Chains A and B, each alone.
Chain A
Amino acid sequence: MLSRVADSLYWMSRYLERAENTVRQLDVTMSLMLDLGGASAESRWQRLMDSLGKKKGMEWNGDMEALAKNLVFDSLNPASVTYCLNGARENARQVREEISTEQWQRLNRLYHHMHSPHTHNQFQSNMNDALASVIDGIHLFKGVSDTTMIHGQGWQFIRLGRYLERAYATATLLEVYQPSLFSNQPKDDTGYQYLELVGLLRCCTSFEAYCQVYTADLSPDRILEFLLLNRDFPHAIRYTVDGMRDSIDAIQKGGGRRPPDELVAVLGRLNAMLEYTTIGEILASDPAGFLHTIREQCMRIHDYIYGNYVHYSIQSALAS
């Protein structure tokens, strides 16, 4: 497939994943604020911003509602949901012939939905529903992507984008939460700690999945284990790394070109890190450093994908 097209599909997918992540984290933060106890609004907003990657132009100013509105609708701020959805649609528009009509129509509808006055009004009157409608739109798009598109190279680049974005975002989120999870506060029975832990899980849509594995008995190390090392849950980092490896394999099988050794190596190393380690070992050594390494490796994976499939030099390509 054309390098430019692969690039657009990859970014379309990353933008959508980013939009979904932002909406979900905002939703969780807003609903945590409904409960009285625990942290201040300012510190919660600060934490939200940190886990979204310290975006500019969204610093705390005391007006929670205006900030939330900007985070959703400010199309000029790269942190906003609208900005991400515009980016996804623009990328899709540039590869309109590569994606299915159903995919395009879903994304186009979501785009018009974000820009309609109705959605703005709904956001004022019922933020929950407004955010849920955006998530619905993204889920529908992912659904038709899986059911209406050939699972060829293009689809694999969509998967690559989705998993890379997700791995990076989850690692960032855990890195931000990690200090407070393991601070030696006395266990309280008021339920506020419990709400915080549920919030963390809900940021990754993983509360119910966690309960199925560990029951509703929430503990920080199990949550970290689940979100880092579970092999079956799509929002766990290990799952996303496996997914990236599968996609790189499939892209190679589809085209016959060998992925560069560096890409194979970095994916393999990341996979080994997550496969051959226990949560006990991670906690005993340096959990923050571990999460940081994952983020760094993700950035390198992105660079290798670019160097190999998108921005390779003509000389090297003619020689091979």
Chain B
Amino acid sequence: MSAGQPMEVDTLFGDYLLDKAFDEMRAPLGDVRPQYRALAETLAGLPADELQRRKQSADLSFLTQGITFTVYGRDEGTERIFPYDLLPRIVTAAEWERIEQGLIQRITALNHFLRDVYFDAKILNDKVVPRELVYSCKHYRRQMRGLQVPRNVYISVVGSDLLRLNTGEFVVLEDNLRVPSGVSYMLTNRRVMKRTFPQLFHSYGVRPIEHYPQLLLATLRSLAPEGRPEPNIVLLTPGVFNSAYFEHTYLARQMGIDLVEGRDLVTHDNIVYMRTTDGLKRVDVIYRRVDDDYSDPLIFRPDSTLGCGGLFNAYRAGNVTVTNAFGTGLADDKALYAYVPRIIKYYLNEDPILPNVETYLLTDDNQRQHVLANLDKLVVKAVGESGGYGMLIGPASTARQREDFARQIEANPRNYIAQPTLDFSRAPCLIGNHLEPRHVDLRPYILYGDKVNIVPGGLTRVALEKGSLVVNSSQGGGSKDTWVLEQ
């Protein structure tokens, strides 16, 4: 392919190979799916180097905007741009409607579950969820027992991870109920996309997502303590060394609220204040991007300086709202995940709209034997980890890694679950100057205040390494803009 020559739609794909995974853009026989046709034609009409030029201009824009994240475990504090793929992932109106309903159902049920577990524990008494699974979860917080949270909302900001299986059906891989991140990439991807393909974007009729910060602010405001009509809302960040620091600053700026660190806060008589140039100012709502463990050294980890001593007591006294609530990690424990369909049925008396991925519990002897015998075919995950850390991908693992995991599983079966290696869907990405399929997931962002709100779309994460199944940004993943169509 020589530079400057228009590519035809056929040659566009070159040696783009379809396999048994669902392809977002192409039907099994290779035809372009209807919603992708206009995109394919536009791409085919562009000179080859034009795509590269647009990609470079998009990359440069991320770099000068400082849209970077920090990678742990390698060079401490290395800043990288989050790789961005130029081609949008397109979700039809019908597909989205189902996703939206499924997520609303799921989040509503999980919130009921948290309320129940921290109050009457009916679901445990009825033996729908095993008691020991809840009380052995390291994210269970006994301090939350009987603690009334505003509007009974525990999880006001959620980012669930969805995959599409080769049947074309979306399934939930995990619910991120603690401090989900990535929403700033969703927003900045859209901005860059509108600049990169303005006409195409316009002609597609894509539903807007730009109002997310406003919705988030309204959600936070709706959770303010009683009698605080003009609440002072802040975003609590662990600080500049956190990998999601860019996002914290971005959201605070978009919402027009102060970005505070633990050292900016003091508590006195169960009231939280922040230190300002005009003296101390009372804080009413804290959108917390710090994990439970690091939030209050008097209650949780005593060696942490990221939070604020006395915060939990002020929270317990009802003088400040902290969201997400403490102890929500319980409901996204990977072992409890297996029970979510039953949790939905129990509280809502409905069948789950979005199914789960099949999950083996390793505390069960039969299931554990099966998993240990089939480690090379399965994915094993540590229940309390996220971000792609603490994971074994069977088919891509070495015998030695499998032995290691088998030993760890035998030592502490509660700490692991196993799932089949999923052939989740792939979408075309611009690799060099041609298209290649890469695995993608979808993380929609759900807000829960006076009601559940989901902006149409979310972050499509891409496993940019060929054949890789790991989409986490910390593991070399990238992202795409996600277009949910008006119709």
Contact = CB atoms under 8 A, between A and B. Distances in A.
Interface of A: 1-6, 90, 93-98, 101, 104-105, 108-109, 112, 153, 157, 251, 255-257, 309-310, 312, 314, 317-318, 320
Given A2-B274, A93-B240, A108-B64, A320 B279 contact: yes
Nearest to A156: B277
A112 B263 contact: no
Interface string B57-88: 00000011110000000000000000000000
Interface SS, A side: helix
B325 interface: no
A94 B237 CA distance: 11
A255 B278 CA distance: 6
B277 A318 contact: no
A105 to B, nearest CB: 5
Nearest to A251: B277
B261 interface: yes
Interface stretch (B124-132, B252-260, B412-420): B252-260
Given A94-B240, A97-B249, A317 B279 contact: yes
A318 B278 contact: no
Given A97-B249, A97-B253, A108 B263 contact: no
A309 B277 contact: yes
Given A93-B66, A104-B66, A314-B280, A4 B263 contact: yes
B280 A317 contact: yes
Contacts of A310: 277
Contacts of B261: 4
A96 B280 contact: no
Contacts of A5: 258
Contacts of B239: 94
B219 to A, nearest CB: 19
Nearest to A91: B240
A264 to B, nearest CB: 16
30 contacts: A1-B278, A2-B274, A2-B277, A3-B264, A4-B261, A4-B263, A4-B264, A90-B240, A93-B240, A93-B245, A95-B259, A96-B66, A96-B250, A97-B252, A97-B259, A98-B253, A101-B65, A105-B64, A108-B66, A109-B64, A157-B277, A251-B277, A255-B276, A257-B277, A257-B278, A309-B277, A312-B279, A317-B275, A318-B280, A320-B279
Contacts of B245: 93, 96
Contacts of B275: 2-4, 312, 317
B30 to A, nearest CB: 43
Given A3-B264, A97-B259, A108-B64, A257 B279 contact: yes
A9 to B, nearest CB: 10
Contacts of B252: 97
Given A97-B259, A257-B277, A2 B65 contact: no
A255 B277 contact: yes
A314 B265 CA distance: 11
Residue among A97, A257, A309 with the highest chain B CB neighbour number at 10 A: A97
A153 B258 CA distance: 14
B172 interface: no
Nearest to A310: B277
B13 to A, nearest CB: 36
B266 interface: yes
A212 B182 CA distance: 56
Nearest to B240: A94
Given A96-B246, A318-B268, 10 more contacts: A90-B240, A95-B259, A97-B249, A97-B250, A97-B253, A104-B65, A256-B278, A257-B277, A257-B278, A317-B279
Given A96-B249, A97-B252, A97-B253, A1 B266 contact: no
A233 B250 CA distance: 38
Interface string B269-307: 000001111111000000000000000000000000000
B443 to A, nearest CB: 23
A242 B274 CA distance: 31
A310 B252 CA distance: 21
Nearest to B274: A2
Interface string B239-251: 1100001101110
Nearest to A3: B275
Task: Identify the 10 closest CB pairs spanning chains A and B, nearest first.
Answer: A255-B278, A96-B249, A97-B253, A97-B252, A309-B277, A97-B249, A3-B275, A257-B278, A317-B280, A97-B259
A157 B253 CA distance: 19
Contacts of B277: 1-3, 6, 153, 157, 251, 255, 257, 309-310
Interface in B19-74: 63-66
Contacts of B248: 97
A79 B279 CA distance: 34
A2 B264 CA distance: 7
B304 to A, nearest CB: 18
B260 A2 contact: yes
Given A1-B276, A3-B275, A104-B66, A314 B266 contact: yes
A98 B65 CA distance: 15
A3 B64 CA distance: 27
A47 B279 CA distance: 44
A2 B260 CA distance: 8
Given A105-B65, A251-B277, A309-B277, A96 B268 contact: no
Contacts of A257: 277-279
B249 A314 contact: no
Nearest to B253: A97
Contacts of A104: 65-66
Contacts of A101: 65
A320 B281 CA distance: 12
